[in-house]
Amino acid sequence: MTRKFVLILCAMCALLLGLALTAQAAPVGRFLMLEGQVDLLKQGKLPAKAAKLTDPVEPGDVIRTKSKSRAQVLFIDDTVLTLAPETRVAVADYLYDGSKGMRRALLQVFRGLVHTLVKRVLELQQPDFLMQTHTAGLGVRGTEWYTLILPNSTNVYNLAGLLEVSSSNRRIPGSLLLAALKYCEVRRDQAPVPARDLTPELLTLLRKMMFTGPREMPPDLSGQPGLAPEMTPPKLPEALTSPYAPALTPTHPGRQGPSTPGTTP
């Protein structure tokens, strides 16, 4: 089961990253909140443009937040992704059909800190929502978690539900089922370390970093503080046609979406 999951994850990523761009991408989400300077790279290509609440998010798009900037995206399956300052994420693939109970999602986190809330749980044998980093692969089954990128590792903090965590290197066997209120680290070319308790103090620090950026690293997790270096995003594919969630109206004039700490992860 574990090795099968790793092989499926790697095969899916290789397939998605190798597909040619043959059709126009379809919107799969919209911005709920934008603060500061947030760039949107359509199909991962330069030049980047300043993101707007009216912009749709499509497969192949890359979102990056600058210093003192944040973004929040609502996807077509009601999944909510929140990017802390100095974060870079690619929507590699996203397809959802609720009537058929089918979803195929892959997000790639290149840099920074993200909070993910997957609301809809599909009773499938294999995870249908995947997240990839430079060192880790995550198979998601209806959950809420933080993903923090470090220079040579990925830290995963699970608040609810279940995550299957493995190395992004297919030659590294083994995976870890991460339960609620647990966290683990996945170092480069290594299997996940044993899970530890997610303390209230650590959770408070993560929530703070969602507003300040991941500069203040938890002292017991990494001896290499600071953000992971920027990575060049791969050529990303397009997805099949799918309707997108409507944009929400900003709650405060002169500001794009809510920004009060405690109301947004």
pLDDT tens for 119-145 read 887 766 578 899 999 999 999 877 899
Give the pLDDT confidence score for residue 253 in this predicted structure.
Answer: 34
pLDDT band at 216 (very low <50, low <70, confident <90, very high): low
Amino acid at 77: D
pTM of the predicted model, to two decimals? Answer: 0.77
Question: Has residue 252 been placed in a domain?
Answer: no
CA distance 255 to 225: 32
Question: Has residue 201 been placed in a domain?
Answer: yes
Question: Has residue 257 been placed in a domain?
Answer: no
CATH number for the domain harbouring residue 132:
2.60.120.1440
Give the pLDDT confidence score for residue 193 in this predicted structure.
Answer: 95
Q: Are 206 and 192 in contact (CB under 8 A)?
A: no
Q: What percent of the chain has pLDDT over 70?
A: 69
- Domain count of the fold of the chain: 1
pLDDT tens for 161-198 read 999 999 999 999 999 999 999 999 999 999 999 999 99
Q: Are 173 and 191 in contact (CB under 8 A)?
A: yes
pLDDT band at 257 (very low <50, low <70, confident <90, very high): low
- Region for 180 from its dihedrals, namely left if φ exceeds 0, alpha if ψ lies in -120 to 50, beta otherwise: beta
Question: Has residue 6 been placed in a domain?
Answer: yes
